[in-house]
Amino acid sequence: MLAMPAMALSLLLLAACGSSNNTTGGASSSSSSSGGASKVDSIAKEVPSSIASKGTLTVAADASYAPNEFIGSDGKTVEGMDADLAKALGEVMGLNASVTNATFDSIIPGLAAGKYDLGMSSFTDTKEREKTVDFVTYFSAGTSFFVKAGGGPAISSLGDLCGHHVAVEKGTTQQDDATGQSKKCTDAGKPAVDVQIYTDQNGANSALSSGRADVSMADSPVADYQVKQSSGQFKISGQPYGTAPYGIAIPKGNGMAKAVLDALKELMSDGVYKQILDKWGIADGAISNPQINGAQS
């Protein structure tokens, strides 16, 4: 269903994915079309002069989370929904978007330190994260469990994780949920959750594939994609939980949030937003009312 480099991207063990662990790789946006986005002068004027003068937005993404962000077939370019959307947003604001690969848990500190202009890496907008960065919401996703198709445990809720080996990516809401559930398990006299934390989602996938873990967790569109690309090795278990908004992360209070919000609204009104989500097969997560700092919890 999805075009292109997805076929070259075995999300488990391909060398291209291995290169996505390099935080200095892939400093260019997706080569794919942004769907016809063009500069809107009134929105471009909203961009703070400190950013407008550079002419380029530096956008950080953890490129191990296909189809949202991943390393393309050339082994260095960050591609996916977030890369395409970053490019389109930049065009509306009269800027080029350079998408660089970074480990997930380094992106928000990097924004706070002024290293990046935006973080577009499937961030769930949470009240805790809003203490450090601002967000513009742009998508909706839950968390899904996935297991080996042959002999994997039946997991339908966090409560079913007691006693299981669970692979998660460092710094994610899935890490928080699995760790919190482990305490609930032991408080109830049940076995703890063995929470295995990996630098990126590729590591979590590999742990499940090799048998070191018997469950993995990821955002629902990512888990669905990984299952589709696993050639029958994995399956989704149960239904997604915890649907919440994704947010484009922006350095706190730097004046960029309104420009990003208005650029996103422009992409929604002219159809480019939908074109991008359709391209990656994730239109079910589309939203129609983006907002600044729209965390639900």
Residue 17 has pLDDT above 90, yes or no: no
Residue 20 has pLDDT above 60, yes or no: no
Q: pLDDT tens for residues 213-230? A: 999 999 999 999 999 999
Mean pLDDT of 285-294: 97
Distance between CA atoms of residues 120 and 276, nearest Å: 14
Phi and psi dihedrals of 13, rounded to 5? -135, 5
Residue 51 has pLDDT above 90, yes or no: yes
What pLDDT, on a 0 to 100 scale, did the predictor assign at position 82? 98
Mean pLDDT of 241-247: 96
* Average pLDDT of every residue of the chain: 90
pTM: 0.83
What pLDDT, on a 0 to 100 scale, did the predictor assign at position 264? 98
What pLDDT, on a 0 to 100 scale, did the predictor assign at position 36? 79
Mean pLDDT of 256-260: 98
**Local structure of 124: helix, strand or coil:** strand
Q: pLDDT tens for residues 173-218? A: 999 999 999 999 999 999 999 999 999 999 999 999 999 999 999 9
Mean pLDDT of 18-42: 54
Q: Which domains does the chain have, with CATH numbers?
A: 4-141+244-285 (3.40.190.10), 143-243 (3.40.190.10)
Q: pLDDT tens for residues 57-75? A: 999 999 999 999 999 999 9
| Residue 230 near residue 77 (C-beta atoms within 8 A) | no
What pLDDT, on a 0 to 100 scale, did the predictor assign at position 35? 62
Confidence of residue 32 (pLDDT cuts 50, 70, 90): very low
Task: Let me know if 24 is exposed, middle or buried by CB neighbors in 10 A (0-12, 13-18, 19+).
Answer: exposed
Q: Which tokens go with 83?
A: 């890369």
Q: How many helices (H) and strands (E) does the chain have?
A: 10, 11
Distance between CA atoms of residues 204 and 202, nearest Å: 5
Residue 81 has pLDDT above 70, yes or no: yes
Distance between CA atoms of residues 76 and 27, nearest Å: 8
Confidence of residue 34 (pLDDT cuts 50, 70, 90): low
Confidence of residue 96 (pLDDT cuts 50, 70, 90): very high
Distance between CA atoms of residues 195 and 176, nearest Å: 10
Q: Which tokens go with 127?
A: 């009240």
Q: pLDDT tens for residues 112-121? A: 999 999 999 9
What pLDDT, on a 0 to 100 scale, did the predictor assign at position 29? 39
- Four-CA torsion 268, 271, 273, 275, nearest 10 degrees: 160
| Residue 257 near residue 250 (C-beta atoms within 8 A) | yes
Sheet with 96-101: list strands edge to edge: 96-101, 56-61, 118-119, 234-251, 133-148, 215-219, 165-169, 194-198
Distance between CA atoms of residues 264 and 90, nearest Å: 10
The residue written with tokens 């488990």 in the block is 12
β-pairing verdict for 194-198 and 165-169: parallel
Residues 6 or more apart from 156 whose CB is under 8 A from it? 145, 237, 238, 239
| Residue 82 near residue 34 (C-beta atoms within 8 A) | no
